[in-house]
Structure 1
Amino acid sequence: MNERASEFSSKVSADYVLSAIKEFSDADNPSSFLAVNEGNCYFALPGRPGVIVYRPAGKYLVQFGGPFAPDDCYTDLLLAFRDFAAEQQRTIAAIQLQAHDARRYARAGFTVNQVGASYAVDLNTFTLAGSRYMQLRNKISRALRSGLTIIEADYDQWADGVREIDRLWLPLKGEGSRPLEYLVGQTGGEMQKHRRLFIGHIDGELMGYVSYSPVYGTNPGWMHDLSRRHPDSPAGVMEAINKAAIDVFRSEGESWLHFGFTPFTNLSDTREVEGHSLGFKWLMHYLWENQIVYPASTQLAYKDKWNQSLILTEYAAFDGKASVNGFVNIWRAANAM
């Protein structure tokens, strides 16, 4: 109990974090499994349950989500983390806070603003029937007629192919593109056993893959995470893979397929938190309209194909005033800058 929090935190394992996001899943962050990404740092208090996930970037500690902790430890953990940041002469910038986090952070003196939304499909009512989905059905059919075979794959057997797809995929994103980290998932490593991998191949050559990570909380299921394709893959390969995965999930009785966080989308005055920054609000709308930092409209168009039935607003928070520098460092932590 006399162990300093920083010393204790250095011993926190990914397995402990995984148990925290499962046990305290009432946090209802559909991206919570990203907490166990390799490269993350953790803050915890000796003798108290719960954990905070972060990465240093510049003069900031960039926090992912709110504290994964029971209600009676939530605020203590947040305030201790604030002290921890101050000891390093850094400040906190948090990303992907959920609505209940946003209100608590605002009460603690943070400036909190909408920064985007996450999306999910109710698999109990999911359908691609009807004229609305004719184009998607046709795209999937064309991909399958090209000889595409879709399977749920063992990662170890396809790891070389996945890495080759990753190498070939990045140039498709444009000159100077970098692979995102932190706010997206990973493949391989100790936590791969908790993920699921669906691939599309033609005669054994990998054409594309989608990695799914588990989602806990009141809307449990799976999150459509990394999705990458070969430059020479047939049109519709990603849609065909995802439809095959949906069919498997539905057969297993899963309730939700989440599509994760898309920055700058679904912004609304009615969902801003009291005390939010008007300047930061303007910036989020500007980035949506101009697609400078992130191709949000492209990502949203893909997600909209799947008959989304749940939209969750997500927030950013800054200790004190909202900061453009803090927002830049959020993206720096995610390897986008």
Structure 2
Amino acid sequence: MTAVTTALTLDDVHRAISAHGDNPSAFLALNSGNSYFSVPGLDGVIVYRTSGPFLVQFGGPFTPADRAPELLRSFVEFAAEQGRGVVSVQVQQNEVGLYAEEGFTVNQVGASYAVDLARFTLRGTRFMQLRNKIARAARAGLTVVEGTLREWADGVAAVDRAWLGSKGEHAHELEFLVGQMGGPAQDHRRLFVGLIEGEVVGYISYSPAYGSRPGWLHDLSRRMPGDVPGIMESINQAAISTFTAEGAEWLHFGFTPFTSLVPETESPNASAAFGWFVQWLWEYGDAVYPAQSQLAYKQKWAPHAVLPEYIAFHGRAQAGGLVHVFKAAKAV
């Protein structure tokens, strides 16, 4: 068994996630800074980062379903050879049984949200506030265009600086569980920018989504601090119109931790104590991650699918494993 960090190309990883991934966030596997594990002769890859005593795995094994147990088992052995444990995040519902059979404790840790573009509409009273925000942004002079990062690099960088500055002097950018701008996979992404008087005031980056609900992932989104409402909503609506005209099927809003936690979607072998802890983080963990405000934005679009996502600990569940997930993402 070998961790193939240098032999695997980004194209190899891209092929694996597009062929075998049913995780709407799978494209994040291509982020700079990730490591990749594979077994010679076995089609597939595991994506991970090292954090303290853990290898933090992103998503499930990107491999044919009948080879997933072998690849996951080999990865656990690879971690053990280093004296490390494995914690896996954004495990999908159809992978819960796989992880349980391989000795993992599995708990729901949040959910992702998706809109069926064939059914999406802004008509009706439930979207009145959203339509009003979009109209106010238009009255403020906002226009939305699609372009490339090369075209809008200076404006995007200015938004990033202002956005990060508004978060406080100790704020830093998240990684791993969110997308990135730039890097070798940038040409696969779509960029929509909002302009007022020719200046970039906000942007949203969209990544391809594969699997049973193909389409696009609403990924990195930022705006200039200010009083103009509806900037992000206007950008996203313009992107939805474009994607729908192109025949895209789904728009995914990505993973939000600590949300949509209900008994019906909990894992059969979940840790009750860890489940209580995740519920506590939903109510009081805003300093760790602003889950409630993130969910509020996603619910504005009335998602048609709520997809539970899970965290899996090899062995027993432990809060330290979750801490290292967030350390790998630079959230703490």
Give the TM-score taking structure 2 as reference length.
0.97
Q: For 2:13, which of 14, 17, 20 is the aligned residue?
A: 17
- CA displacement at 1:189 relative to structure 2: 1.8
Q: Per-residue CA shift, 1:75-97, capped at 9, x if unaligned?
A: 11101000100111101011000
- Partners of 2:106 and 2:267 in 1: CA distance: 6
- Partners of 1:270 and 1:251 in 2: CA distance: 36
Q: Per-residue CA shift, 1:175-233, capped at 9, x if unaligned?
A: 53321100000111211110000000112211000000000111100010011001136
SS at match of 1:190: coil
SS at match of 1:212: strand
Correspondence for 1:98? 92
User: Is the contact between residue 204 and residue 218 of structure 2 (CA under 8 Å) also seen in structure 1?
Assistant: yes
Is 1:187 matched with 2:181? yes
Detail structure 1 runs of 4+ shifted over 2 Å in the superposition.
171-178
| Matched length | 331
SS at match of 2:80: helix
Q: Per-residue CA shift, 1:94-121, capped at 9, x if unaligned?
A: 1000011121101111000000000000
Correspondence for 2:306? 311
Give aligned-pair identity as a percent: 55
Q: For 1:169, which of 153, 163, 170 is the aligned residue?
A: 163
- CA displacement at 1:150 relative to structure 2: 0.5
Correspondence for 1:276? 270
Distance 1:207 1:233, change over 3 A: farther
- Partners of 1:136 and 1:9 in 2: CA distance: 45
User: Is the contact between residue 258 and residue 278 of structure 2 (CA under 8 Å) also seen in structure 1?
Assistant: yes
Unaligned runs of 5+ in 1: none
1:1-150 equivalences under 5 Å are 4-6=1-3, 8-25=4-21, 28-150=22-144
User: Is the contact between residue 86 and residue 314 of structure 2 (CA under 8 Å) also seen in structure 1?
Assistant: yes
- Partners of 1:211 and 1:248 in 2: CA distance: 14
- Partners of 2:170 and 2:46 in 1: CA distance: 32
- Partners of 2:307 and 2:6 in 1: CA distance: 32
Q: Per-residue CA shift, 1:277-303, capped at 9, x if unaligned?
A: 111000010000113321111001000
Task: Identify the range of structure 1 (210-219 vs 11-20) with the bigger mean alpha-carbon deviation.
Answer: 11-20
- Partners of 2:106 and 2:171 in 1: CA distance: 29
Output the amino acid matched with 1:19.
R
User: Is the contact between residue 137 and residue 229 of structure 2 (CA under 8 Å) also seen in structure 1?
Assistant: yes
Correspondence for 2:317? 322
Give the TM-score taking structure 1 as reference length.
0.96
User: Is the contact between residue 182 and residue 333 of structure 1 (CA under 8 Å) also seen in structure 2?
Assistant: yes
- Partners of 1:79 and 1:143 in 2: CA distance: 52
Task: Identify the range of structure 1 (274-283 vs 166-175) with the bigger mean alpha-carbon deviation.
Answer: 166-175
User: Is the contact between residue 172 and residue 231 of structure 1 (CA under 8 Å) also seen in structure 2?
Assistant: yes
Correspondence for 2:247? 253
User: Is the contact between residue 211 and residue 225 of structure 1 (CA under 8 Å) also seen in structure 2?
Assistant: yes
Task: Identify the range of structure 1 (125-134 vs 268-277) with the bigger mean alpha-carbon deviation.
Answer: 268-277
Q: Per-residue CA shift, 1:242-291, capped at 9, x if unaligned?
A: 00000101111111100000000000112121221111000010000113
1:214-233 equivalences under 5 Å are 214-232=208-226
User: Is the contact between residue 207 and residue 233 of structure 1 (CA under 8 Å) also seen in structure 2?
Assistant: no
SS at match of 1:266: coil
Unaligned runs of 5+ in 2: none
- CA displacement at 1:160 relative to structure 2: 1.7
User: Is the contact between residue 31 and residue 183 of structure 2 (CA under 8 Å) also seen in structure 1?
Assistant: no
Output the amino acid matched with 2:14.
L
